[in-house]
Structure 1
């Protein structure tokens, strides 16, 4: 069954709802929904409904809510991914796949070795694009809520913002030889929240690792292989979900 997402979902007293904007265009122009077609309607607060198309207008779709659907239970662990900004396609792929795996928040940041350049006046446009990728991933896999993507910042600013977070904090570092992420998760008391940090294509500098350590991040590896940044991020989220969350 097709799924559509409306951030600010407002139901009328008669149980109907008007869908407009990009989702209405997608319904009418891309998948060509017709009156009588049923679909799953998802809201920005985790709502899920079985809905049916009543009528289609030039810029909006009127639908009727048939019944509420039972939302799937959230993962027992909340995962935040701090990701050094990658080039366009790898970054989109990373957001898509980590969203499918259940990451809750994504904080993009610039590091010393970041290759991709985004002008500050284009931040808002890029975040809208990334958020759209996360929403599409949520619809594809049936997540009640998409991952939330924040505006890009610098690593020092990001660390200041995370300084009061009480949770397990890990930073993936290919030069770490004594501690692996899998072993750390098995040895540590289970936490409700995990913050994972992944570097850019060229990895973190030694100075950046020192900065993260000062803020409570534990450097870990994910094995003997040197992974692409997007693969490393997916591996981090998958391991946390497998050991402490709802994967497997």
Structure 2
């Protein structure tokens, strides 16, 4: 049986006795039906996994004993910042989930001219909470011990006006393929539009701010497929995919 791996937003110290937050406790005791003495792994984003054992498993309270942490997760050789146009529903969820599994370090959701989803106020906060849950679940599944950063969603123009350093603009009409680029430094920003891509005006603005247009091949990819293909290529060329 696979040992459950659970994120907790709590300090973790060897030997500590902790009461788990209600959501995690409910999942472990009511969904997985773990009994007392069952092993699990906890992580809080500090880079380490902490073996733990359930000492009390009840509907109202689940307590665990924390063990000695394992080796810290290595720092990624390439910090990938994904600036992604907000797409509808499951498409955005899928792109975020798989991007985290592929090792992206930072994500900025962007509202662009062609975004079919526009959110603000409480609706935006609820969506950001939902996206944070997607990122955490992807880390739990993939074994990542450091959480990627999720920036507050903003408009394309506001983000571009403050972004420094340029990056790569995924554009099926670009002359240069991604595989023809030289190796970047320690960081790279990848800009991808929503359904329908970025508008011509947005692409021109990105290029004026130092972004280089690149293509992946002869096919036009969906908004949920494009970031995954691009990140996989970037990781295979210059990152940790295959290490």
TM range (shorter): over 0.9
Given that residues 73 and 146 in structure 2 are in contact (C-alpha distance below 8 angstroms), is that contact kept between their aligned partners in structure 1?
A: no
TM-score (norm 1): 0.91
1:67 CA displacement: 2.1
Change (3 A) 1:45 1:207: same
Deviations 1:206-228 (A, max 9, x none): 11011111211111111111000
The answer as to 2:238 corresponding to 1:244 is yes
Change (3 A) 1:182 1:60: farther
Given that residues 79 and 105 in structure 1 are in contact (C-alpha distance below 8 angstroms), is that contact kept between their aligned partners in structure 2?
A: yes
- Gaps spanning 5+ residues in structure 1: where? none
Q: What secondary structure does 2:135 align onto?
A: helix
Q: 1:194-213 maps to which residues of 2 (within 5 A)?
A: 194-213=188-207
1:57 CA displacement: 4.0
Match of 1:221 among 192, 198, 215: 215
Q: 1:21-40 maps to which residues of 2 (within 5 A)?
A: 21-40=22-41
Cα RMSD, aligned residues only: 1.6
1:96 CA displacement: 0.6
Q: 1:155-174 maps to which residues of 2 (within 5 A)?
A: 155-163=156-164, 166=165, 169-174=167-172
Divergent runs of 4+, >3 A: 57-60
Q: What secondary structure does 2:67 align onto?
A: strand
Q: What secondary structure does 1:67 align onto?
A: coil
Q: What secondary structure does 1:230 align onto?
A: coil
Deviations 1:44-88 (A, max 9, x none): 322311111011244432111232111332320011100000001
Given that residues 178 and 214 in structure 2 are in contact (C-alpha distance below 8 angstroms), is that contact kept between their aligned partners in structure 1?
A: yes
Change (3 A) 1:60 1:10: farther
Given that residues 84 and 114 in structure 1 are in contact (C-alpha distance below 8 angstroms), is that contact kept between their aligned partners in structure 2?
A: yes
Q: Provide the residue aligned with 1:120 in structure 2.
A: 121
- Gaps spanning 5+ residues in structure 2: where? none
The answer as to 2:108 corresponding to 1:111 is no
Q: What secondary structure does 2:132 align onto?
A: helix
Q: What secondary structure does 2:90 align onto?
A: helix
Q: 1:1-248 maps to which residues of 2 (within 5 A)?
A: 1-11=3-13, 14-163=15-164, 166=165, 169-176=167-174, 178-184=175-181, 188-248=182-242
Q: What secondary structure does 1:229 align onto?
A: coil
Deviations 1:150-209 (A, max 9, x none): 22100011112322xx4x610101211x2111111xxx2441111101101111111101
Question: C-alpha separation between the residues in 1 aligned to 2:70 and 2:18?
Answer: 16
Q: What secondary structure does 1:54 align onto?
A: strand
Given that residues 3 and 140 in structure 1 are in contact (C-alpha distance below 8 angstroms), is that contact kept between their aligned partners in structure 2?
A: yes
Change (3 A) 1:245 1:86: same
For these two proteins, the number of residue pairs brought into alignment is 240
